[in-house]
Amino acid sequence: MKKITLLLAFIGMMTLQSCEVTEVYDSPVSNNPRTEVFEVTASFNSNNNYTKLVVFDPPIYANDSVLMYHLYEVVNGQDVWKLMPQTYYFNDGGALDYNYDFTRFNAKISLSANFNLNTLASSWTQNQTFRLVIIPDGFAKTVNKNNIDSVMSALKVSKSEVKKISL
């Protein structure tokens, strides 16, 4: 009798051990990475607390990331994009930061400074252009992310495929 009980316990343990628990996530993970580039022009002031929200519709995948670039200037017809976060220093000791953070659902662009932002020239706050590049997990390790042209080339996204968003 003891041997039968022991055998049944052993079979029961083997059966339970082969059970698999599958966790359910509310955020999709995709093996087909989303490679999109969005361009948005925004203006900042005290009324919007020097922030702008860009909503992702549909949300990005859980394993995606976002790189953001600020259009700093245009030289001889060529755009000069700077990877954010980006700090600009002024001769009087002031420092202006263009920052961003993101979730699956949106990206928030914000300005901060070591001085009163209300005194900032409108050339720094009005009609500022940004590019948001959605990249697959681990992609940033394989390319020079400081160069937006390298990133877009690696993602095989042409300038004509950049989607303009109105805020």
Task: List the pLDDT tens digit at each of the 167 positions of the chain.
Answer: 555 555 445 455 544 444 443 333 344 444 555 678 999 999 999 999 999 999 998 999 888 999 999 999 999 999 999 999 999 999 999 999 999 999 999 999 999 999 999 999 999 999 999 999 998 877 767 788 888 988 888 888 888 888 887 77
In the chain, domain spans: 26-165
Dump the DSSP string for the chain: -HHHHHHHHHHHHHHHHT-------SS---SS----EEEEEE---GGGTTEEEEE-SSPPPTTEEEEEEEEEEEETTEEEEEESSEEEE-TTS-EEEEEEEE-SSEEEEEEEESS-GGGS-HHHHSSEEEEEEEEETTGGGSS-TT-HHHHHHHHT--GGGPEEE--
Model-level pTM? 0.76
